[in-house]
């Protein structure tokens, strides 16, 4: 999953990026509203963490511009303690949730994870598909109750597929949600990792839909899927 953090306090920005990264997010950062608004409008994110008190462009304006442009990614706003007017303005502009400063980093991580899960259509913390189960808060994926041994990249791919189980996910969509803005996108690496994941999750659970992408779920109709 990919997260955009827009926070001008360098210490807090570092702390948020580390906490979210430890939870499995790929994190891009911006230190002012103008830069953050641009990244949110030109890159693909699963969630944004947006401070309202930003230089250059206020956070409310950033959020308003996104929503006016039809950008629907979940947004968690950061507000000052006791400033109820900021919260109201944030929700009216299209925010999905908020955290009040000072906050525990774990709170922001859990709220971000919850927004991602709900945006994908899952009400429960644990997402299941066959013998697989993803605890979306702990970031643990099990098969028949036993934790899978996954690399960080394998975990990111499988987590995204679990959130979007039953739907074909294109290679481009996967790469958009696996890499940060500074990274080179490598479709071949994704293909290799998908092959490894098939052996770990059980044959037939991850299908390659020719010309379209990958699908996690029960096997699709013959003639449309392959194992390559």
pLDDT in tens, 44-90: 999 999 999 999 999 999 999 999 999 999 999 998 866 788 889 99
pTM of the model: 0.86
- Of the candidates 171, 173, 177, 227, the residue with the CA atom closest to the CA atom of residue 201: 227
pLDDT in tens, 28-37: 999 999 999 9
Confidence of residue 228 (pLDDT cuts 50, 70, 90): very low
- Which residues are CB-contacts of 39 (< 8 A; sequence separation ≥ 6)? 4, 6, 28, 30, 181
pLDDT at 222: 43
pLDDT in tens, 165-186: 999 999 999 999 988 887 777 7
pLDDT at 220: 52
Query: Does residue 115 contact residue 47 with C-beta atoms inside 8 Å?
Result: yes
Overall average pLDDT of the 114-124 stretch: 92
Overall average pLDDT of the 142-164 stretch: 93
């Amino acid at each position: 999953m990919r997260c955009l953090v827009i926070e001008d306090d360098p210490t807090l920005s570092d702390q948020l990026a580390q906490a979210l990264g430890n939870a499995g997010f790929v994190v891009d950062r911006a230190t002012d509203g103008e830069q953050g608004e641009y990244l949110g409008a030109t890159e693909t994110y699963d969630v944004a963490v947006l401070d309202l008190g930003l230089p250059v462009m206020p956070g409310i304006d950033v959020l308003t511009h996104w929503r006016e442009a039809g950008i629907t990614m979940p947004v968690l706003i950061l507000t000052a303690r006791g400033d109820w007017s900021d919260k109201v303005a944030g929700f009216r502009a299209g925010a999905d949730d908020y955290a009040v400063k000072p906050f525990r980093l774990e709170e922001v991580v859990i709220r971000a994870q919850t927004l991602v899960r709900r945006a994908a259509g899952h009400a429960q913390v644990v997402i299941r598909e066959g013998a697989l189960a993803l605890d979306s808060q702990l970031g643990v994926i099990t098969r028949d109750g036993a934790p899978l041994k996954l690399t960080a990249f394998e975990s990111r791919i499988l987590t995204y597929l679990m959130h979007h189980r039953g739907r074909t996910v294109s290679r481009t969509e996967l790469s958009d949600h696996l890499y940060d803005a500074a990274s080179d996108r490598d479709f071949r690496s994704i293909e290799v990792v998908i092959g490894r994941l098939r052996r770990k999750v059980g044959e037939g659970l991850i299908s390659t839909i020719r010309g379209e992408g990958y699908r996690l779920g029960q096997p699709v109709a013959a003639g449309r899927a392959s194992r390559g």
